[in-house]
Amino acid sequence: MSRIAVHRIPVLQDNYSYLIEDTQEKTCVVVDPAEAGPVNAAIEQLGLKPVMLWNTHHHADHIDGNPGVLDRAGSIPVYGSAGDRGRIPQLTHFLQAGDGLEFGGDMVRVLEVPGHTRSHVAYYLPSGHLFSGDLLFGYSCGKVFEGSMEDMYRSVAQVAQLPDETLIYCGHEYTLNNRCFAETVEPDNPDHKTRAASETAPPTVPLQLGQEKKTNPFLRWHVPAVQAFTGKTEPAEVFGELRRRKDNF
């Protein structure tokens, strides 16, 4: 039986930070603290002891709470991408693809998922949890700022290979805003109506990977209707055209 429990913490306007709790040890990992105040308050309320901090990428709305969390937690290790050395000042451990961490009885796998930034990482717990930062959102994916469209396609395709039951803990509550574009891409997709009936208000996170595969166009580059919308058939080109059109939607 899994010892993992995940606590979602709303921060800023539409961000999420997370606490991953080991329910047996009453310890936790802090993930992407955008603000220290709400995160520290949740730690206190839940009676947890922080033992690690994980960052997915260097953007301010994912790391600005690092100093305040560390002030409270003391000298705990801070993990992030090796490529973010110097861009996340608090990092103490520099990760690459395939590196493993252990928490709560899970051997956590580090995934390199560049595209949104050149050094984005995600953390996959085999008990069924993916902490994906700004890689994937409900019905969509992150904007491509530092990497290439090909990078982002490969990163999303990597996540698509995980089990359908995987729960995706993303960095923002964007699902309802993204739905309209997805429905424009596939207006005849019956799964959109089913999903819309169950998601009428936030929070919509965690997302389920299997549901995203049915409704998120950025995971449906192989579907004829999506290819027809983009006028492309090669997977990375379909993906890139979707992202360009979403950027201008």
pLDDT of residue 236: 96
- Name the amino acid, one letter, at 71: D
Question: What count of other Cβ atoms lies within 10 Å of the Cβ of residue 42?
Answer: 18
- Summarize pLDDT for 8-18 with one digit per residue, the tens: 999 999 999 99
Please list the active-site residues: 57, 59, 61-62, 116, 134, 172
Distance (Å, whole) CA 204 – CA 202: 5
Could you tell me where the beta strands, DSSP code E, fall in 184-248?
A: 207-208
User: The domain 4-247 belongs to what CATH superfamily?
Assistant: Ribonuclease Z/Hydroxyacylglutathione hydrolase-like (3.60.15.10)
Eight-class DSSP state of 162: S
Does residue 1 register a pLDDT over 90?
Answer: no
Does residue 147 register a pLDDT over 90?
Answer: no
The rounded Cα 180 to chain-centroid distance in angstroms is 21
Give the chain's mean pLDDT.
97
Distance (Å, whole) CA 192 – CA 139: 10
- Summarize pLDDT for 38-88 with one digit per residue, the tens: 999 999 999 999 999 999 999 999 999 999 999 999 999 999 999 999 999
Distance (Å, whole) CA 198 – CA 129: 21
Instruction: State how far the alpha carbon of 23 is from the alpha carbons of 34, 174, 243, in Å.
Output: 24, 29, 39
